[in-house]
């Protein structure tokens, strides 16, 4: 079997409805990719250089980067299992953004430095609160577009 045949058979295994990166899904992958780079690079630098200043904030930014990475991978991978995993991560992401965003507003002393999710993602133009909402909508819509098993 040539590599082209292997690629073709792998593509044929997934029905057309399993594809998550068509249409608006491409934009979601791009935005999540940008957030991965932003959150991970920010947290790695901050953890390496000034972790003792705000360990909770920097650790939460690292967690956000990992969540963004997993969602990006799931969207690219496609399929029903990946769609469900991405949806669960988006729910967890939204819960994190709302929790940390509210916490930073109520107790600013708990976060001497901002996280990706501080003030509902204000430092990232509120993308952290809008992105999971958009992704959850897209992932639910993608489920409805999949052919139903007999």
Structure confidence by residue, pLDDT tens digits, 46-82: 999 999 999 999 999 999 999 999 999 999 998 899 9
CA atoms within 13 A on the CB side of 74: 21
Label residue 20 by pLDDT band (50, 70, 90): confident
Q: Say whether pLDDT at 109 is over 90.
A: no
| DSSP string over 86-149 | HHHHHHHHHHHHHHHHHHHHH-GGG-SS--TTGGGTGGGTTHHHHHHHHHHHHHHHHHHHSPPP
Q: Give the C-alpha separation, 71 to 22, whole Å.
A: 15
Q: Say whether pLDDT at 147 is over 60.
A: no
What pTM was computed for the model? 0.80
**pLDDT, average across residues 16-23:** 65
Give the per-residue pLDDT at 1: 53
What's 23's DSSP letter? T
Q: Give the C-alpha separation, 103 to 129, whole Å.
A: 14
Angle between helices 80-106 and 127-145 (to 10 degrees): 160
pLDDT per residue over 119-132, tens digit each?
999 988 999 999 99
Q: Give the C-alpha separation, 40 to 12, whole Å.
A: 34
């Amino acid at each position: 079997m040539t590599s082209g045949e292997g690629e073709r058979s792998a593509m044929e295994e997934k029905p057309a409805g399993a594809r998550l990166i068509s249409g608006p899904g491409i934009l979601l992958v791009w935005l999540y990719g940008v957030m991965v780079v932003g959150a991970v690079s920010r947290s790695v630098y901050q953890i390496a250089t000034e972790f003792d200043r705000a360990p909770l904030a920097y650790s939460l930014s690292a967690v956000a980067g990992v969540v963004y990475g997993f969602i990006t991978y799931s969207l690219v991978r496609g399929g029903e299992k990946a769609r469900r995993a991405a949806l669960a991560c988006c729910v967890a992401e939204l819960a994190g953004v709302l929790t940390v965003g509210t916490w930073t507003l109520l107790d600013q002393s708990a976060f001497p430095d901002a996280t990706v999710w501080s003030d509902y993602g204000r430092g990232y133009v509120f993308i952290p609160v809008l992105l999971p909402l958009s992704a959850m909508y897209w992932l639910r819509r993608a489920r409805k577009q999949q052919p139903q098993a007999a």
